[in-house]
Amino acid sequence: MTEQLTHFIDGARVPGTSGNFQDVFNPATGESHAQVPLASAAEVKAAIASAKAAFPAWAATAPAKRAAVMFKFRELLYAHQDEIAQLVSQEHGKTLDDAKGELGRGIEVVEFACGIPQLLKGEFSEAVATNVDTHSIRQSLGVVAGITPFNFPTMVPMWMFPVALACGNTFVLKPSERDPSSTIRLVELLHEAGLPKGVMNLVNGGKEAVDEILSNPDVKAVSFVGSTAVGEYIYTEGCKHGKRVQALCGAKNHMVVLPDADMDKAVDALMGAAYGSAGERCMAISVAVAVGEGTADTLIEKLTPKIQALKVAPYTDPEAEMGPVVTKESKEKIEGYIQSGVDQGAKLVVDGRGLKLQGYENGYFLGGTLFDNVTTDMDIYKDEIFGPVLGVVRADEYETALQMVNDHEYGNGTAIFTRDGDAARDFTTRVQAGMVGVNVPIPVPVAYHSFGGWKRSLFGDHDIHGMEGVRFYTKLKAVTTRWPSGMKEGALFHFKAGKDH
């Protein structure tokens, strides 16, 4: 029997009432295993109302007590990590190791949020004028919301709600309708950790749910991770309705390989960065810029057999290195990009199309794909493919490679592989991207730093998690005080001596 998933409102699982449902598929088999309700505007309003009602008491809760909930939540996440990873892999398709890895990165943000009493400390200046002091405090916003993508159904929500909740806000989460089960489980565990009802709510849905979040006056801020087209819409509509918005969007991440790089390490890095999680990551490396013909030839020579030997299998296979992509539509879109690369003149070195696994013929499997001689006018260079496709671009010199990265419309992440410290320093200084790796292929910062891109990879003024997350989910208030006593020295002495009693 097909499982019926639910929303989570006011401390409990709540069945959908809109009458609209969407199938949730296992990408390895192509079969629907559950149905998720798509919330109406009225259901989203109910979740927001629950969060609004819970806000005053939660905001007044001491930060140390809010942190205590996060400490307990962290314990529960570790205790249930195998269960959660299974839910992720069943609906997303990624390997169990990948699923556990994403959960681990989410737990890092929970651990960061456990330090909220320290993170909310303000500043104090004594005697800014005669008998006048000034101090600053950070206070919560109210009801805030998160809209999260399919590719990291546990990590990305945990980039948002642990920091938001620890800062004293209440939260409404709309996860991807493609793989919501693991996200729903996170919210259940939060309540097992002692979170009061109404502080965290979850509604599944599509555009109707998103538009209610964006227009509802009780929502003060919106966090989003997803495609650039949707992110720009969310940023524009949210700002139009007076909300804070951070929208982390598309990417086309380049890895520049200089002739002096350790080629074996560069190739190993590309294998993980391009094909891990089937390339369905906003920090995936999808373009390798090889400086010099010899560098490019070596990369192609070393990459080709590794890609051909890549073990593509369902997550239930313990030897799987890459699983299927998330939906049939995604598979067809990626295959279309591969064909466009061929049609536009790139050299197809390894073709991942046509892969069929015995017993999983209806699954959404693709093999790793490698292109050589990619040029900057091709669609496979310009667009975010979001699949296991790597293109090698040949650059005649370092400056040409740097200019390619800077000229692209996206500026999420980038990397350089080299032994030359001067080249690495120049690259990190001049490159137009928000996150940079030096001999690190996917430079995702740890949780106490912040994640965010430049150019059309980010709309809004704040990156996510770390101190930028604390700033996004709080308002700064400056307080200036004066306590004029009017007392003379003798009167003050008598007051201290108790002679006025």
Residue 249 bears catalytic tag: no
Which of the residues 114, 167, 249, 282 is marked catalytic? 282
Burial 376-414 (b: 16+ CB within 10 A, else e): eebebbeebbbbbbbbbbbbeebeebbebbbebebbbbb
C-alpha distances (whole Å) from 118 to each of 108, 113, 287 are: 17, 10, 41
Strand partners, 164: none
Tell me whether residue 304 is exposed, middle or buried, using C-beta atoms within 10 angstroms of its C-beta: 0 to 12, 13 to 18, 19 or more.
Answer: middle
Best CA proximity match to 417, nearest among 254, 288, 266: 266
Are 144 and 222 in contact by the 8 Å Cβ rule? The answer is: yes
Are 268 and 245 in contact by the 8 Å Cβ rule? The answer is: no
Q: Can you tell me the distance from the alpha carbon of 330 to that of 273, in angstroms, rounded to the nearest whole number?
A: 19
Task: Tell me the backbone φ, ψ of residue 385, rounded to 5 degrees.
Answer: -80, -35
Gyration radius (Cα) of the chain, Å:
26
Distance, C-alpha 443 to centroid of its chain: 13
Q: Can you tell me the distance from the alpha carbon of 408 to that of 292, in angstroms, rounded to the nearest whole number?
A: 21
Q: Is the dihedral of CA 137, 142, 148, 154 positive or negative?
A: positive
Best CA proximity match to 276, nearest among 152, 462, 430, 399: 152
Active site residues: 282
